[in-house]
Amino acid sequence: MAQSSVLVTGGAGYIGSHVVLQLRERGEKVVVLDSLVTGFRQAVLDTPLVVGEVGDRELVGRVLREHGIDTVMHFAAHTIVPESVRNPLKYYGNNTCSTRSLLQACAEHGVRNFVFSSTAAVYGILETGFAGEDTRTAPINPYGTSKLMSEWMLRDLSAASPLRHVILRYFNVAGSDPGGRIGQSTREATLLIKVAAEVAMGKRASLSMFGTDYPTPDGTGVRDYIHVSDLATAHLDALAYLRGGGESTTLNCGYGHGYSVREVLQAVERAAGKKIEVREEPRREGDPPFLVAKADRIRQVLGWKPALDDLDQIVRSSLAWERKLAAEPWA
């Protein structure tokens, strides 16, 4: 029997490309579907790439059929929270409606396994700062809501069909492939470590630090930063779990401890060997002071064993990628 293939939507983007890299290293047959609006052709290396939209059901159906897809890993999405507030329908259209179209195609073509890229933004503002999978979901922006609506559709389809799924709720993803082959190349990036690395490299003049009066040890927000390669490994573990007969489930993907903004910036300065320009700004509305994963369940259910849980290592990999981009820019 021919080996079935894995379809990775958004596989030319930051997280998706790291998952594609690990899938290929494991000997999986992989096909990437990406619009290349925010992704990069270089990020997929030599993996087969179909350029198109996830919401194009005819195209998706053809890809599923022609490549014998039995597993879909769905990353394609808009992810900028402030933009989602300014333009909510863009996010409901691309993140929610396109996911509905993708799920329809999966149901029609007998896809068995689905791994969904979700977010800690589904939790909103937490009383304790620690989010478990059973914590009440109450997103405070259209980005988080668009992802939660997609979770609901996936849950309901799985209940009504043979499809089984793993939903992974990411916390703060950072870093780049330790081998330097791919990395975070996002244009006009907003993630803290990426932005700080760009400042250190002179690509930006300064960085804005929003909020210095939070009830945290140093007054700045605390987040759970996870290396993108560890996150990618969690997706491969989710695939193995589903292929082994695992039931549909939702899991947090973080390390279970956090660092403050000041601690992150100090790590960037250590790695860069110089100070970076930081502007202290007022708090942004809706930013929680503390957001960290309760991350025991993913280890228990998937047997996930992160290997890169070290802030300095995360930062060094980010800076190394920025240096490579400076020498060899991606178009």
Q: Which pLDDT tens digit goes with each residue over 316-328?
A: 999 999 999 999 9
Token reading at 46: 């030599």
Query: 33 lies in a domain?
Result: yes
Could you list the residue range(s) of the whole structural domain that residue 42 is in?
Answer: 5-174+225-253
Residue 92 appears among annotated catalytic residues: no
Orientation angle between helical segments 142-160 and 98-108, nearest 10 degrees: 20
Q: pTM of the prediction?
A: 0.96
Per the structure, how many domains does the chain have? 2
Q: Tell which residue, 87, 137, 113, 123, has the closest CA to residue 8.
A: 113
Query: 186 lies in a domain?
Result: no
Query: 127 lies in a domain?
Result: yes
Same domain flag for 99 and 204? no
Rg (CA), the chain: 19
pLDDT, tens digit, for every residue of 20-50? 999 999 999 999 999 999 999 999 999 999 9
Token reading at 235: 């997706």
pLDDT, tens digit, for every residue of 95-141? 999 999 999 999 999 999 999 999 999 999 888 889 999 999 999 99
d(CA 180, CA 289): 33
Q: At 3, which amino acid appears? A: Q
**Catalytic choice (123, 143, 241, 255):** 143
Same domain flag for 146 and 29? yes
Query: 137 lies in a domain?
Result: yes
Same domain flag for 163 and 33? yes
Query: 183 lies in a domain?
Result: no
Burial category of 313 from C-beta neighbours within 10 Å (exposed 0-12, middle 13-18, buried 19 and up) = middle
The backbone torsions φ and ψ at residue 48, rounded to the nearest 5 degrees and listed phi first, read -55, 130
Same domain flag for 34 and 155? yes
Same domain flag for 70 and 165? yes
Per the rule left: phi > 0, alpha: psi between -120 and 50, beta: everything else, 162 is: alpha
Q: CATH number for the domain including 244?
A: 3.40.50.720
